[in-house]
Every structure is written in structure tokens, then in C-alpha cells.
Structure 1
Amino acid sequence: MQPLQNKVQFEQLFKDNWELMYQSALYKLKDPSLAEDIVQDIFLDLWKRKDKLVLQSEIKVYLLTAVKYSVMKCLDEVAKRQESQLEIASGFYSEEVLSFEEIYNEIEVAIEKIPPKARMVFKMNKLEGMNVNEIAEKLQLSPQTVHNQLSKSMKILRGELKHIAPLISMIFLN
């Protein structure tokens, strides 16, 4: 194939092949957005190399081969990302897993480091399940003061329990 001579040729190439390439990528990826991205990237690369590119085979073969390799690369990246996430998750449950009692004790120690008024608000909210308005009414405080006390408590706990933060956030630091 001769190098693409102009924009009109390129646009025609795009119109003639985009759908086939997209369907090919979509069939393998099952994700329309990723399939579109792959096809767009291939055409962008083709446009950038338009003056130097000389193909030994038919353009459709070249484009579908590019889709095939791009899809393989994408699937490989997705697999690596998932593997990495699994490794991170399994790190929380490795040999260094704390027993329930150890976690409970660490939480109790950390809660004791919260100033008394903020600790009372924290316990009422997180351990007794009371909402901000209920706490404000019971302690005769403004709702904003309750929010401030909860915020102060959370900041202290996050600092004290950062080594088990993912687990703690699942329990009550949201």
C-alpha cells in the first residue's frame, strides 16, 4: 500500500474500516468504551505515521491485526491491574492478620485518646447508632458542634489506627 496521500484518503479509510475494527474489539473486550478507545488509538497512530507507513499486506489485514494486538495488550493490562488489586487485598489478610481481640483492643486504646466530650459524641454516633440531631438534642449542643466533635474524633482515630485503616474504615470511619 502506498502511504496515505491526504486527509480525504484517510477519512475514507476510517469510514470503510471503523465499524469492522470496533466490532472486532468489542467482541473480545465486551466494553464499548474500551473498544472505541482502541480503534481511535489505532487510527491516531496510523495518521501520525501516514507519511512513512508502507504496508506489505492489505490494509484490512493490517488494521485487524492492529486491533488484535491492541486488544491483547488491553486485556493484559486489565489482568495485571486485577492481579495487583488482589495482591493488595491479600496483604490485609496475610500472616500479620490481627485477631478480633487485638483489633478490638487497639480500637479501645485509640478511642481513649479522644478528648472526653468528643469521645462521648463518637460513641453515641458510631457505637450506639444515634444520628447528629439526636446527639445534639440529648447533649444540648448545636448539630454543628456535634459534627465538629465527630470530625475531631475521626481525625484522631485515623492517625492512631492507620496501620489497620482499611479494616477500620469498613467498620466505622466513613
Structure 2
Amino acid sequence: MRLLGDSDLLGLVREDDGRAFTEIYERYWDRLYATAWHHLKDATAAEEVVQDVFVTIWQKRHTLIIEELSKYLAAMVRYGVYRYLAREQQRRTLHDNAAIKPGVDAYELEHKLLLEMVNKLSGELPEKCRIVFRATKLHDQSLGDVARQLNISPKTAEAHLTKALRLIRMNLGKAFHFFF
């Protein structure tokens, strides 16, 4: 694998060859990490950015068209650093705004942020799932009452709630990774 060029390795990665992917990873990780660290001055953040680059490469391996791998990876790290810095700025702004308000402690801030994320994520659910989720979880209505209001069976309402909870939990995990 070490003797293969980048384009050959990419061709093998497109065919799900894990060894070729590992070779690309080992070939470029140090360089990409150094670039990310240079801009962020934070080892953990730099590692996170570089790992995200490689995860993206693997996830999109079947559809990516890359002419020059080194330039492509460098650009991905650069954009990863920009996204990280933007998230950090947003987090600091939220924290600073909350800190200005008298009587707001860290627990209230975390609760408010979590509630905002859940509300935003629930807005992305399919219509019936969103209605059932918000009514039962955010407005404390019983599942039976919601089913009667929507003129659906309790089992259907339960299925909508189960689907909504599964999607919220899955996306909430991604959101926590994104924000924290």
C-alpha cells in the first residue's frame, strides 16, 4: 500500500478497501493535525477537526471525486477549522449573553440550551410526529388525549411518539457533538 499513489489509494477506498483508507490516514494525519493545531492552538480541537475530515472521507467515499488528495484534505481541514471557530464563537456569545442576565446559573443555561435544541430538532420531524411529540413531551398532554385530538388510534400516536423520540435522541447526540 505504501508504494501506491494517492489516486490508486482513492480508487481502492471507493471499493471499500479499509487498508487503503488506513494508508491515506497514516500518510496525511500528522500534516493535517499540524495545520489544525497551528490555527486552533488546542490539541483536542485539532484532533476533532482531523478526525471529522477522515470520517467524512470514509462516509462519502463512493461519491467523492478528488483530483488531488493533499489539496482536498488541506481544504477540508481549513473549512473544519472555520466551522469549529464559528461554533466556539457562537457558544461564547450564548454564554456571555446568559452570564449578563442576573440570576441565571449554569444549570439554567444548560437547561435552556437543551430545550432550544430539542425544540429546533422537533421542528424538523415529520408533521404528525412533531405534533405528537410536542403535545406529549413539551405540553404535558396525555398520549390518549393527543390521539383523540388528531383523530388517530392510540397505537398510531404511540408509533409517532416512538419515531419522534428515536429521531430526537439520534440528532441530539449529533447536536451535542456539534456544540460541545
Report the TM-score when normalising by structure 1. 0.50
Contact 2:25 2:54 in 1 (8 A): yes
Q: Does 1:42 align with 2:42?
A: no
Contact 2:36 2:77 in 1 (8 A): yes
Q: How does 1:93-112 map to 2 (within 5 A)?
A: none
- Aligned counterpart, 1:83: 93
**Aligned partners of 2:94 and 2:18: how far apart in 1?**
42
Gaps (5+ residues) in structure 1? 93-163, 167-174
In the TM superposition, structure 1's runs of 4+ consecutive aligned residues that sit over 4 Å from their partners are none
- Aligned counterpart, 1:29: 40
Corresponding pairs, count? 94
One-letter amino acid of the counterpart of residue 82, structure 2: M
Gaps (5+ residues) in structure 2? 1-6, 106-180
**Aligned partners of 1:45 and 1:165: how far apart in 2?**
38
- Aligned counterpart, 2:25: 14
- Aligned counterpart, 2:82: 72
Q: How does 1:80-159 map to 2 (within 5 A)?
A: 80-92=90-102
> Which string of whole-angstrom CA distances, capped at 9 and with x for unpartnered residues, describes residues 42-76 of structure 1?
10111111122111x31010001000000000000
Contact 2:49 2:81 in 1 (8 A): yes
Over aligned residues, Cα RMSD in angstroms? 1.6
Report the TM-score when normalising by structure 2. 0.49
- Aligned counterpart, 2:68: 58
3-state SS of paired residue (2:33): helix
In the TM superposition, residue 41 of structure 1 has moved relative to its aligned partner by 1.1
One-letter amino acid of the counterpart of residue 77, structure 1: R
One-letter amino acid of the counterpart of residue 87, structure 2: E
Identical pairs, percent: 26
One-letter amino acid of the counterpart of residue 49, structure 2: I
Max Rg structure: 1
3-state SS of paired residue (2:50): helix
One-letter amino acid of the counterpart of residue 51, structure 1: H
**Aligned partners of 1:48 and 1:165: how far apart in 2?**
41
